[in-house]
């Protein structure tokens, strides 16, 4: 009977075996680290020799930026492969790394970058002189692609967190967008009383929102020294303070705890079930598409603050483009990464046509981007708001080198407690202990 299941299982076995097929070869292939970069003459030669490089990315229509690159370097052909989103791409990339047949360039989210640098699968671009580009990018983006002197790739887009709210519903409730988290708690109560809806939703199916809140609050729960030591510190006072704050709001039934970015959530957004959204910079345009019936009613501002005189924020999402360590055309690949993320035409196009929030400072300041008026926000220059927010994100946040596990473990512990509206603190402790157990089992030294 259950043919489909068996097929799925067989496919799984097949995928597994493909993934494992190159186990023996993988470790030896990854360790190559060039200490010395290419000379200008070598670069010139590489860029005029007919070459095809493979590029894995899930950015829609990125072919348009590839076209700009190919126009400038006619000898180089970029072969784009979309693996169908971030998660699918990482799985396939890991299989490719084990088999030794890697793409030359890949898009990797900041949060997943250490999971790939730890296996020495990403080429250090410092010898290519990329360290000089530091001042061109938002510090919070640059901090995510470097460890020490090593440069693992160039920042593509960024997701500083701001605050999108329904101006009509806020007016109805007689509240202003809250400036501090203390104000937010009061606003949540007033909002619920006068509209019957929740002021916002804290999702349990993704850890990005709550990590952004921790980022803003100055908590640094994760750390990785680039070698064997990880820091897992989810019981620090800063973390506990944030978690307790939200626990309190949940227990008072002042905020929703629905999973985000699913059908139910889209419906709730367009029906005014949530008055606001702690959205990353990719959120404003995204929301236009999912809640089109609320055009003109939304406004953007920065998130509520712990201390209104010292504005801070955190990132949700954003990715880098990296050159894979096994690339046979590393020079051309590195030049492509550089063009894609620092050439004015390419970055401006990515920002204004594909709506990626740029991590390149020059593009953030570019009027074509910054002064873009969005009808959905009543003609507000939303990008302007987010560019200012991007400057308030601190750059010392770190991710664990096993982000997949950190994320899935969150969903089973703290995330599940949020969704089920049960006590958050025991769940937070459970998350901490699961992460520590996993790290030890994987051979890491754990610091807390």
Q: Which of 4, 28, 39, 40 binds other proteins (CB under 8 A)?
A: 4
Q: How far is the CB of 154 from other proteins (least distance, A)?
A: 26
Q: Could you tell me which of 33, 71, 27, 73 has the C-alpha nearest to residue 50? A: 73
CB of 355 to other proteins, least distance (A): 24
Q: Which of residues 12-41 bind other proteins (CB under 8 A)?
A: 12-14, 16-17, 19-20, 23, 27
DSSP state of 373: -
- Considering only 136, 285, 416, 436, the residue that binds other proteins (CB under 8 A) is 416
Nearer to other proteins, 248 or 262 (CB): 262
Give the nearer residue to other proteins in terms of CB position, either 91 or 167: 91
| Binding segment toward other proteins, per CB under 8 A, in 78-86, 236-244, 341-349, 440-448 | 440-448
Interface residue with other proteins among 128, 181, 399, 444 (CB under 8 A) is 444
Q: d(Cα 6, Cα 25) in Å, to the nearest integer?
A: 30
According to DSSP, residue 391 is labeled T
Q: Note whether 199 and 187 are within 8 A (CB).
A: yes
Binding other proteins (rule: CB under 8 A), the pick from 37, 129, 259, 391 is 259
Greatest Cα pair distance in the chain: 69
* Number of shown-chain residues binding other proteins (CB under 8 A): 48
Please say whether the beta carbons of 153 and 113 come within 8 A: yes
Min CB(294)–other proteins separation in Å: 16
Least Cβ distance, residue 288 to other proteins (angstroms): 20
Q: What is the DSSP string of 217-264?
A: TT---EEE-SSSEEEE-TTSHHHHHHHHHHHHHHHTT-SB-PPSSSHH
Of 153, 159, 178, 204, the residue at the interface with other proteins (CB under 8 A) is: 204
> Of 250, 287, 239, 295, whose CA–CA distance to 266 is shortest?
287
- In the range 382-411, which residues lie near other proteins by CB under 8 A? 401-402, 404-405, 408, 411
Element (H, E) at 62: none
Whole-Å CA distances, 417 to 3, 68, 259, 266, 423: 36, 48, 12, 22, 6
Min dist CB 41 to other proteins, Å, is 39
In sequence order, the β-bridge partners of residue 165 are 276, 299
> Smallest gap, in angstroms, from Cβ of residue 35 to other proteins?
23
Which residue intervals of 62-180 are DSSP H helices?
A: 63-72, 86-99, 113-117, 139-145, 167-173
Instruction: Tell the smallest beta-carbon distance from residue 18 to other proteins (Å).
Output: 9
Which of 62, 76, 118, 199 is the binder for other proteins (CB under 8 A)? Answer: 118
Is 187 an interacting residue with respect to other proteins (CB under 8 A)?
A: no
Instruction: Tell the residue number behind the tokens 């010139």, with chain if given.
Output: 44
Choice between 148 and 443, CB closer to other proteins: 443
Minimum Å gap between C-beta 201 and other proteins is: 12
The CA-to-CA distance between both ends of the chain, in Å, stands at 51
Question: Residue 47 or residue 416: which is nearer to other proteins going by CB?
Answer: 416
Residue 47's nearest CA partner among 407, 441, 331 is: 331
C-beta of 368: minimal distance to other proteins in Å? 37
Q: Which of 83, 89, 117, 205 touches other proteins by CB under 8 A?
A: 205
Which among 278, 133, 275, 284 has a CA at the least distance from the CA of 208? 278
Structure tokens given for 393: 């994100």
Residues that bind other proteins (CB under 8 A): 1-2, 4-6, 8-10, 12-14, 16-17, 19-20, 23, 27, 91, 94, 118-119, 204-205, 228, 258-259, 262-264, 267-268, 273, 401-402, 404-405, 408, 411-412, 415-416, 419-420, 438, 441-444
């Amino acid at each position: 009977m259950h043919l489909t299941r068996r097929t799925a299982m067989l496919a799984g076995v097949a995928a597994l075996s493909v993934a494992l097929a190159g186990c023996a070869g993988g470790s030896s292939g990854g360790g190559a680290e060039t200490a010395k970069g290419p000379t200008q003459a070598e670069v010139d030669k590489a860029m005029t020799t007919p070459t095809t490089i493979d590029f894995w990315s899930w950015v829609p229509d990125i072919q348009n930026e590839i076209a700009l690159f190919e126009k400038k370097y006619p000898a180089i052909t970029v072969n784009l492969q979309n693996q169908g989103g971030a998660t699918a791409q990482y799985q396939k990339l890991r299989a490719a790394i084990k088999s030794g047949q890697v793409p030359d360039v890949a898009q990797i989210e900041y949060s997943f970058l250490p999971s790939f640098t730890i296996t020495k699968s990403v080429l250090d671009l410092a010898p290519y002189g990329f360290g000089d580009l530091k001042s061109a990018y938002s510090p919070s983006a640059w901090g995510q692609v470097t460890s020490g002197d090593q440069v693992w790739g160039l920042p593509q887009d960024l997701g500083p967190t701001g605050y999108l709210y329904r101006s009509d519903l806020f007016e109805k409730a007689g509240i202003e967008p809250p400036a501090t988290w203390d104000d937010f708690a009061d606003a949540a109560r007033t909002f619920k009383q006068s509209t019957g809806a929740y002021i916002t939703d804290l999702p349990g199916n993704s850890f990005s929102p709550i990590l952004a809140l921790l980022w803003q609050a100055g908590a640094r729960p994760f750390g990785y020294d680039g070698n064997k030591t990880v820091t897992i510190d989810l019981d620090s006072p800063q973390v506990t303070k944030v978690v307790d704050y939200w626990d309190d709001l949940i227990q008072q039934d002042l905020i929703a705890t629905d999973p985000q970015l699913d059908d139910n959530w889209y419906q709730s957004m367009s029906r005014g079930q949530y008055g606001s959204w702690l959205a990353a910079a990719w959120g404003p345009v995204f929301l236009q598409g999912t809640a089109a019936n609320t055009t003109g009613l939304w406004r953007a501002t920065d998130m509520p603050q712990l201390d209104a005189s010292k504005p801070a924020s955190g990132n949700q999402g954003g990715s880098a483009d990296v050159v894979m360590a096994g690339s046979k055309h590393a020079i051309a690949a590195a030049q492509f990464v550089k063009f894609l993320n620092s050439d004015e035409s390419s970055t401006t196009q990515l920002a204004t046509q594909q709506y990626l929030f740029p991590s390149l400072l020059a593009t953030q300041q570019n009027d074509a981007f910054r002064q873009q008026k969005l009808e959905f926000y009543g003609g507000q220059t939303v990008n302007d708001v987010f560019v200012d927010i991007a400057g308030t994100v601190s750059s010392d946040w770190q991710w664990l080198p096993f982000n997949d596990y950190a994320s899935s473990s969150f969903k089973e512990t703290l995330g599940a407690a949020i969704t089920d509206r049960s006590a958050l603190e025991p769940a937070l402790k459970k998350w901490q202990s699961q992460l520590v157990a996993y790290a030890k089992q994987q051979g890491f030294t754990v610091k807390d």
